[in-house]
Structure 1
Amino acid sequence: MAPLLVLKIDVDTYRGTREGVPNLVRMLKAHGAGATFLFSLGPDHTGWAMRRALRPGFFQKVSRTSVVEHYGFKTLMYGVLLPGPDIGAKAAAEMRAARDAGFECGIHTWDHVWWQDNVRGRDAAWTDAIMKKSEQRYAQVFGEAPHTFGAAGWQMNPHAFARHDAAGYRYASDSRAQLRDDGSLADPHAGPYRYRGLAHIQMPTTLPTLDELLGREIDGIVIDEQNIAAHILKLTANPQRDHVYTLHAELEGQKLAPIFEQLLSGWKAQGYQLASMADYYEKIKQEAQPLPEHPVQWGELPGRSGELVILDTLK
């Protein structure tokens, strides 16, 4: 079986849902690619993210990735000067259209910024309430219960992981594999695993995201929109393993779509099957190999500010 390049699409905002998702559906269909769309289902409060201004590395990341250009000024005002639109209520048609086009769908979050900035230190009651709201809205939009999840900002807590099992999710993608400065895997064997005491499978993202690479100097070369696809394709040039790539409807689905087109064509040329999380789960089942178990770990990654849930097998 060909190695898988799993496409996990985080949809963070109202604009990303209305504009980025349809664009991605068209691109993916043209390439015969599978993918998983993970939706934010409640209010868009993107403007609240500016409260992260004192976090180390925040302004450096904002300046490198042209946040206003990619997200739009109006989106950055949601929750600040403008009320945050209810994404699940106003953009349900775009969500269902992705499902109807044959793509797997799941939950990203209820309120992206609220979850990302708060979940790590919250208790079970807070966590369950937020996740239940997401589950209920997902069922309203799609007419069925959700079956998978990918955490906003790779931020979680033990109660959230436990709820995956309680909800019957067989797999989720809430964590990152540890990366070197150039975006390559610190442990080339890092892959699917389980958290100790839990049943669901975690599928860590194994490649850097565009916003983590753009504007950085790596090996004496500044990574820009002209060379970033080549840099990522270099990381996947020897297809001896599966990879999970996280993309964003607000980036690859809009201004950075030409870069994503290069990646899709490049990965197919390298021999990868462009796949969904569901496809990956089926492959893991078929291989029938016992998965390693690891504790929940936190750490930093090159090009991203703050700590997130990581799989660091080298500790």
Structure 2
Amino acid sequence: MTQPRLAIKIDVDTDRGTREGVPALSALLQRKGVPATFLFSLGPDNTGRAIRRIFRPGFFSKVSRTSVVSTYGLRTLMNGVILPGPDIAKKNRDVMRAVAAAGFETGIHCWDHVFWQDKLFSLSDARVAEEFGKAAQAYEDIFGKPAKTAGAAGWQANAASLAAYDTAGLDYASDTRGHAPFFPVAGGRRFRTLQIPTTLPTLDELMGRPEYPTEGLADELLGRLAPGRFDVFTIHAEIEGMSMIDWFGRFLDRAKERGVTFVSSAQEAANLNALPEAVPFAALEQGEVDGRSGTLAVEGARMSGVAA
């Protein structure tokens, strides 16, 4: 029986997460021999401006469950409001380069996390391209080559952002929540950049809920894997790389005990892009995910007859 295959995707949202969480995760993953993809925020850390989300359904329940102050730290929560947002890439370029030097795949999360997550759908196509372009340029300045993957902040994506990816020539992106890799369709267009969706719940969507006690979270997540299937688990440098790093180490051990094979999203994308006719395309839609406030990009119905 073919064992479950699991890829680890790491979203890095903040200056503190880059400075503290990323090195800790890199060291842990190297010790465990587990590949992963680190997606970096590359512009200002304006985390404090996320307070504008207080009117979203489910926002208060999420922040109370996940202990936002202890997770992010008071200094981070003042960034962009009381204190100027630090430039993440300029402050942490050595940290980012060390991740690549250790053999991990790196890519783009965003330029300004809060701005992209909260404002994407109010921006013109040109403004979306400009915002992604700033992140792409910062990435190239750090790593000396263009990024080949991206995963949008807050799983916020639309036709304009997909067009920016196609223009950048990415190998794949990971903007969505869904079930299996697909080519996205939005605004009546089929886009060339493969989507590899997050298939498992994130830790912050489960933690703190009485039906998901902390001691059972690893088995809850691993129980959702299936033999022969490829899954993606998104973690956060600010959570699994900091307050929950011991839990994450135990999760990796438990996964290996259960026969899970850890794989690279980049290799999965290369295999699929080599046979694009075998990959379905599906609508990129906006939907809700249990445990997360607001709407995000989700894999919709599979489609046919849409021109590229």
TM-score bucket (shorter structure): over 0.9
The aligned residue for residue 183 of structure 1 is: none
AA at the equivalent of 1:53: I
Q: What is the SS of the residue equivalent to 1:227?
A: helix
AA at the equivalent of 1:176: R
1:224 aligned residue (182, 198, 213): 213
> Structure 1 residue 200 and structure 2 residue 209: aligned?
no
AA at the equivalent of 1:105: T
> Structure 1 residue 280 and structure 2 residue 268: aligned?
yes
The aligned residue for residue 74 of structure 1 is: 75
AA at the equivalent of 1:199: R
AA at the equivalent of 2:92: A
Q: Unpaired segments of 5 or more residues in structure 1? A: 178-189
The TM-score with structure 2 as length reference comes to 0.92
Q: Distance in 2 between matches of 1:62 and 1:164?
A: 31
1:40-79 maps to which residues of 2 (within 5 A)? 40-79=41-80
Q: Distance in 2 between matches of 1:283 and 1:24?
A: 27
- What is the deviation of 1:170? 1.8
Percentage identity across paired residues of the two chains: 47
The aligned residue for residue 120 of structure 2 is: 119
1:182-261 maps to which residues of 2 (within 5 A)? 190-196=179-185, 197-218=190-211, 223-236=212-225, 238-261=226-249
Q: What is the SS of the residue equivalent to 2:6?
A: strand
Q: Distance in 2 between matches of 1:121 and 1:34?
A: 36
Q: Distance in 2 between matches of 1:37 and 1:152?
A: 13
AA at the equivalent of 2:77: L
Q: Distance in 2 between matches of 1:250 and 1:276?
A: 22
Q: Residue 173 of structure 2 contacts residue 194 of structure 2 at CA under 8 Å; is this kept in 1?
A: yes
Deviations 1:234-270, CA, capped at 9 Å, x for gaps: 222x433110110000000001011211221122222
1:295-310 maps to which residues of 2 (within 5 A)? 295-310=283-298
Q: What is the SS of the residue equivalent to 1:254?
A: helix
- What is the deviation of 1:4? 2.3
> Structure 1 residue 26 and structure 2 residue 14: aligned?
no
Q: Unpaired segments of 5 or more residues in structure 2? A: 304-308
Q: What is the SS of the residue equivalent to 1:106?
A: strand
Q: Residue 139 of structure 1 contacts residue 146 of structure 1 at CA under 8 Å; is this kept in 2?
A: yes
The aligned residue for residue 96 of structure 1 is: 97
- What is the deviation of 1:314? 8.8
Q: Closer, same or farther in 2 for the Cα pair 1:244/1:298, shift >3 Å?
A: same
Q: Distance in 2 between matches of 1:311 and 1:217?
A: 28
Deviations 1:12-64, CA, capped at 9 Å, x for gaps: 00000000000000110011111100000000000000110111110000000
The aligned residue for residue 291 of structure 1 is: 279
What is the total number of aligned residue pairs between the two structures? Answer: 298
Q: Residue 195 of structure 1 contacts residue 293 of structure 1 at CA under 8 Å; is this kept in 2?
A: yes
The aligned residue for residue 161 of structure 2 is: 160
- What is the deviation of 1:227? 2.1
1:264 aligned residue (233, 249, 252): 252
Q: Residue 14 of structure 1 contacts residue 44 of structure 1 at CA under 8 Å; is this kept in 2?
A: yes
Q: Residue 299 of structure 1 contacts residue 307 of structure 1 at CA under 8 Å; is this kept in 2?
A: yes
Deviations 1:124-162, CA, capped at 9 Å, x for gaps: 111011011001100111111111100000001211101
Q: Residue 283 of structure 2 contacts residue 300 of structure 2 at CA under 8 Å; is this kept in 1?
A: no
Q: Residue 239 of structure 1 contacts residue 270 of structure 1 at CA under 8 Å; is this kept in 2?
A: no
The aligned residue for residue 84 of structure 1 is: 85
Q: Distance in 1 between matches of 2:82 and 2:200?
A: 35
Q: Closer, same or farther in 2 for the Cα pair 1:18/1:227, shift >3 Å?
A: same
- What is the deviation of 1:276? 2.5
Q: What is the SS of the residue equivalent to 1:229?
A: helix
- What is the deviation of 1:225? 2.6
